[in-house]
Structure 1
Amino acid sequence: MAGRWRGRRALVTGASNGVGREIARALAADGAHVLLPVRDRGRGESAVRSIRETMPDASLELCDLDLADFATVTSLGENLCAAGEPIELYVINAGIILLGDRERHVSADGHELHLQTNFLGHAALTRELMPALREGSARIAVELSVAAARGRLDDLEGERRYSAWRAYAGSKRALGLWGVELARQNALENWGLGVNLCHPGVAPDTGIAAELRRRVPGGELGMMARLARYLGNPPARAAEPALMALERDAAPGSFFAPGGPFGLSGAPRERRLFRSLRNDREARLMWDLTEAAC
C-alpha cells in the first residue's frame, strides 16, 4: 500500500508499545500523520523516538487518553473534533490483561478494568470521534484477539466469578460483537465509514503474548500458553492484519487474521468470523450496553 495513506490522519490506540506501535510505524512509513493517544506520556515519547530512529521525518502526534476514565475519552474526542480536521484511519487496538493478579480492579467509572479499557472506553471514544470519522469517511480496524473466540458474556463485570483471563476474553468478545454491530449501524445509517475486524495472532515478544509465554503450561491458560511458546509472528507481521483491515475494500464487517494454524501466525488473509461473534442479537445487546454504560 505504498503511499496510499500519504497526508491522511490516522489514530491508533495502544500505539505506545507492541503491535500498536508497529501499526503506527507502518502508517507513518506510508505517509500518514499518526495520532498516538497515550495514558503514559513517557512510554508515548519512547514510541515516538523508536519510530523516528528509522523514519526521522515521521509525522507523529502524542495526545492524552486513559480508556479507563471516560472524562479523558470525552476530552480527547472534543479536542479532536474541535480542531476541525477529519480522521481517515482509526485502529481500535489498545488492551490490557492483568495476568497473575487475582484481584478484580475497577475503573474510575465503576466498571471492571478490562471491560472498560478494552471495550467500553473504545466504544465511548468512537462515539465522541464520530463527527471527525464521518468527515474523513474513515476506515476503521477493530483489533480483537484469539481470546474473543472463547470469551463469555454472562458476567462481563466479573462480579460473580473473576479471573484476569476470563475478564480479558469476555471484553474482547464484547468488543468484537460491538464491532459487528458498528458495521451494521454504519450501513443502516449511511455514515460512510469502512468497518472491518481483525486480530494479530500471537507476537511472542510483545504485550499480552509475552505474558502468555511466562505462564507455566497447564496453568490458567493451558493449551494457549503452550502454543504461544512455539507459534507466533514478529511484531511487524502481527501488525499486518490491522493494516489489511484498513486497506481492503471488503464487505463491511470482514475479518482479517493470520493465515497459519489456529490463526496464531503467518501472513494475513481474510478469514471467517469467529462463531462467537456471529450472533446478531448479542451484537445488538453489546451495542445497547455501551449506550447505557458510557
Structure 2
Amino acid sequence: MGKWTAADMPDLGGKVAVVTGANSGLGYYTARDLAAHGAHVVLACRGREKTEAAMQALKAEVPDAHLEFMLLDLADLDSVAAFASAFKARHPKLDILHNNAGVMALPQMRTKQGFDMQIGTNHLGHFALTGQLLDVLLAAPRGRVVSTASMAHTWTRGMDLDDLNWERKPYRKWDAYGKSKLANLLFAYELQRRLDQRGASLISVVAHPGYAATNLQGAGAKIENSVIGGAIMKIGNALFGQPAAMGALPQLYAATMPDVRGGEYFGPDRLGGSRGYPTRTRSNAASRDEAVAARLWALSEQLTGVRFLSA
C-alpha cells in the first residue's frame, strides 16, 4: 500500500463515526482526519472540559468539522449503557466505531463494577459498547468496528480466563496490559467470525500504532507519583516513539479504505512494526486461538451482562 497517509482517505460525507478516547493521542488524530474527510465524529470521552478543549483545537485545524461530544466512561458499565442509549436516540446508524481508548500499565485499580482497570477499560468496556451499538452498526451499509490493539499482546503468555480480573494471582501491571491487548485481538477476530456466520455486511478489523508517543505511556507513573518512571517514559517517547498522527494511520486505513476485509490486522511497516506507514500484518498464535476467543466472549457476556451474536 506504499506510503499511505490520511490524505489518501476517501470522502466520508454522510458517515457517522464514534471514537472512544478522542480527546488526546491516537484518538485525537483519528477524529481529526475522519472529520477532515467529511464524517460526523462523536468524541466519546469521560472528561467534558478536556474534550471541549480538544474540540476547539480540532475546529482550528478543520474549520468545517462536524463534531459532537458524548460522555462515556468505559470503566463504568452504567456509563456505557447510557452512552449507547443516548447515541441511538440521536443517530439511526453508525458507520465506524473506533474502540480506541485505553489505559496502560496502571497500578492495581478497579472499575466501578469491580473489574481490573486494564481489562475492564480496554476490553470489557469496549465489548459492552460494541454489543449495545450493534443494531445501529448493522443499520449502516458495510459498517466497521475498528479495535486498537498493541504489540504488547506478545508480552504475555496468554489469557488467564480463570482469573481475568487479577483477584487471586499477584498483580503485574505490564502483564495485565499485555493480556488486555491480547483480549482486544481475540474479541475482534471472534466478532468477525460471528458476523460471517450471519452473513452481515458489518466487518471487524484491528490496528496497532507501533510505538506512538502519546500520554498513555506516562499515565501509570503519574498515578504512582513516580518521577523516575515518568522520566523514563518521556525519554522513551522522545528516542523511539513516532508521532501520534503517524500512529493513527493504521486504524484510519482500517476504518476507511475500500480494500479492507473483515478480520485483517494493520500496523506500521518498519522496525518490527514499531513505526512507519500502514501495512497488513499478523498477530501471534495466541490471538488466533478460536477456542480461547469463544471462552473469552462467553465470560465477557457473563461479566458485563451484554449478550449479542450468541453462538
Given the two structures, how large is their TM-score scaled by the length of structure 1?
0.90
Structure 2 distance, partners of 1:288, 1:109, is 18
Distance change in 2, residues 1:228/1:212 (3 Å): farther
Aligned residue pairs total 286
1:190 equivalent to 2:195? Answer no
Q: Contact 2:15–2:95 (CA<8 Å) still a contact in 1? A: yes
Q: Give the partner amino acid of 1:153.
A: M
Counterpart mapping for 1:214-233 below 5 A: 230-233=239-242
Shift of the alpha carbon at 1:97? 1.9
Aligned residue for 2:64, secondary structure, equals coil
Aligned residue for 2:276, secondary structure, equals coil
Counterpart mapping for 1:82-231 below 5 A: 82-99=89-106, 101=107, 104-136=108-140, 137-151=142-156, 152-154=158-160, 155-159=163-167, 160-204=169-213, 206-210=214-218, 230-231=239-240
Aligned residue for 1:75, secondary structure, equals helix
Structure 1 distance, partners of 2:181, 2:250, is 16
Q: Give the partner amino acid of 1:11.
A: V
Q: Contact 2:138–2:202 (CA<8 Å) still a contact in 1? A: yes
Q: Which residue among 258, 268, 290 is the counterpart of 1:258? A: 268
Structure 2: 5+ residue stretches without partners: 1-7, 305-311
1:237 corresponds to which residue? 246
Q: Contact 1:149–1:275 (CA<8 Å) still a contact in 2? A: no
Q: Which residue among 243, 247, 269 is the counterpart of 2:256? A: 247
Q: Give the partner amino acid of 1:186.
A: L
Aligned residue for 2:137, secondary structure, equals helix
Structure 1: 5+ residue stretches without partners: none
Given the two structures, how large is their TM-score scaled by the length of structure 2?
0.85
Q: Which residue among 70, 80, 87 is the counterpart of 1:80? A: 87
Q: Contact 1:81–1:131 (CA<8 Å) still a contact in 2? A: no
- How much identity, in percent, do the aligned residues show? 34
The CA RMSD measured in Å over matched residues stands at 2.4
Structure 2 distance, partners of 1:227, 1:47, is 25
Q: Which residue among 283, 288, 291 is the counterpart of 2:298? A: 288
